Amino acid sequence: MGIFREIETAVHLLKSGELVGLPTETVYGLGANALDAEAVAKIFKAKNRPAFDPLIVHVASVEQASSIAHVSPTAKRLFEKFSPGPLTIILSKKSIVPDLTTSGHDTVGIRIPNHPLMLEVLERSNLCIAAPSANPFGYTSPTTASHVDQQLGDSIAGILDGGPCSVGIESTILDLTASPRILRLGGLPVEALEQELGPIEVQLSSSNPKAPGMLSAHYNPGVKVRLFDSLELLEAEASNINRSNVAMLVSGSAIERQHWFHLSKVGNDIEAASKLFSALRYLGGAGYDEIWTHLHPESGLGKAINDRLKRASFRTQ
Ligand code: TXA
Ligand code: MG
């Protein structure tokens, strides 16, 4: 079927136990009925995802979240403040959620996504929708419907086109099953959560089996990524060479030259995040041997961008 635009088609396919590529504000998800173990099994197969990596479940409201998890007062407050939006909260699950969805954990990650089409699919179907990022395991997350089509089009029923994702990096994951911990830096800055909860421990350990999406090597763009500690260091090194096989992926740089690609000319991390994955994907397939890029200032979305860049460059340097 490929890419389509009718919400009813997505609803029908999901209700029939099929896999559908779905737009969210962060990245495209590979959706299935979260309470149907057979449908969920198809997600793991299509993505080649290890069965120990639990899925995020998308819902339309706190009420719907309460049907599958024990929503604590703190979780309710955070959902009310930040949702719909790029926040996933890990809560203790109710038994209605199949073990396959949560990889056997007694917890479930829940998110209310901020995309009008996705919210309509959730509301009209009345389903809870399990949806990991719609990429083969280990690769860059998709931020357009055609990204999904290119990598997974043959193994899924179709993709609902909701345009390019506005946030562009995945949700922030907050574990509230014990004292609050961030398991993944993402589209909601940690600082925003800390304003509500006070200082929060950030535990991104790549060996953390609770969030295998955090493996060191993830977001593989297919070519070597060289990561500089700052824009200034990249610019200094780049001025010494003139190689057409290297693409520069920069933010906040005034340099206009062939093979230079700007995430945000003014160095705005919200704009940079929204373009990051599509830039990595494009440059990975544009015939370059290397991508040179740099760390961003460590605040707001800069932290989540740096996390992605470190993983994209891991072992490719
Ligand atoms: O922005 C997003 O969160 C996107 C969109 C589609 O919503 N989804 C996404 O899903 O990034 P995925 O599967 O690519 O990443 C989910 C991460 C994984 O690292 C997984 O290990 C972690 O969430 N996770 C899911 N359920 C969990 C749980 N119960 N406990 C700990 N980590 C969990
Ligand atoms: Mg993913």
Q: Are the beta carbons of 197 and 60 closer than 8 angstroms?
A: no
Q: Are the beta carbons of 301 and 309 closer than 8 angstroms?
A: no
Give the pLDDT confidence score for residue 215 in this predicted structure. Answer: 58
Give the pLDDT confidence score for residue 218 in this predicted structure. Answer: 75
Burial class (CB in 10 A: 0-12, 13-18, 19+), 52: exposed
Q: Whose CA is nearest to atom 17 of ligand 1?
A: 213
- Selected residue with higher pLDDT from 311 and 107: 107
30 lines ligand 1 (CB under 6 A): no
Q: Does pLDDT of 172 surpass 90? A: yes
The mean pLDDT value for 114-121 works out to 98
At residue 69 the predicted structure's pLDDT band, cuts being 50, 70 and 90, is very high
Give the pLDDT confidence score for residue 243 in this predicted structure. Answer: 80
**In the chain, what percentage of residues exceed pLDDT 70?**
95
Which ligand is closest to the CA of 168, given by its number? Answer: 1
**In the chain, what percentage of residues exceed pLDDT 90?**
89
Strand partners, 249: 261, 293
Q: Whose CA is nearest to atom 22 of ligand 1?
A: 211
Q: Ligand 2: distance of its center to the CA of 109 in Å?
A: 13
Hey, what amino acid is at 46? A
pLDDT in tens, 203-236: 986 544 444 445 566 787 889 999 999 999 999 9
Mean pLDDT of the chain: 94
Give the pLDDT confidence score for residue 261 in this predicted structure. Answer: 98
* Residue in this structure with the two tokens 């998800």, named with its chain if needed: 29
- Selected residue with higher pLDDT from 269 and 1: 269
Six-digit token pair at 113?
A: 């996504």
Full-model pTM:
0.94
What is the DSSP track for 163-211? -S-SS-SPPEEEE-SSS-EEEE--SS-HHHHHHHHSS-EE---TT-TT-
Q: Ligand 1: distance of its center to the CA of 188 in Å?
A: 14
Q: Ligand 2: distance of its center to the CA of 107 in Å?
A: 18
CB atoms within 5 A of ion ligand 2 belong to: 133, 213
213 lines ligand 1 (CB under 6 A): yes
Give the pLDDT confidence score for residue 221 in this predicted structure. Answer: 87
31 lines ligand 1 (CB under 6 A): no
Q: Ligand 1: distance of its center to the CA of 213 in Å?
A: 7
Index of the ligand 1 atom closest to the CA of residue 53 = 21
Pocket test for ligand 1, best of 83, 88, 137 (most atoms within 8 A of CB): 88
Six-digit token pair at 121?
A: 């699919």
Q: Does pLDDT of 316 surpass 70? A: no
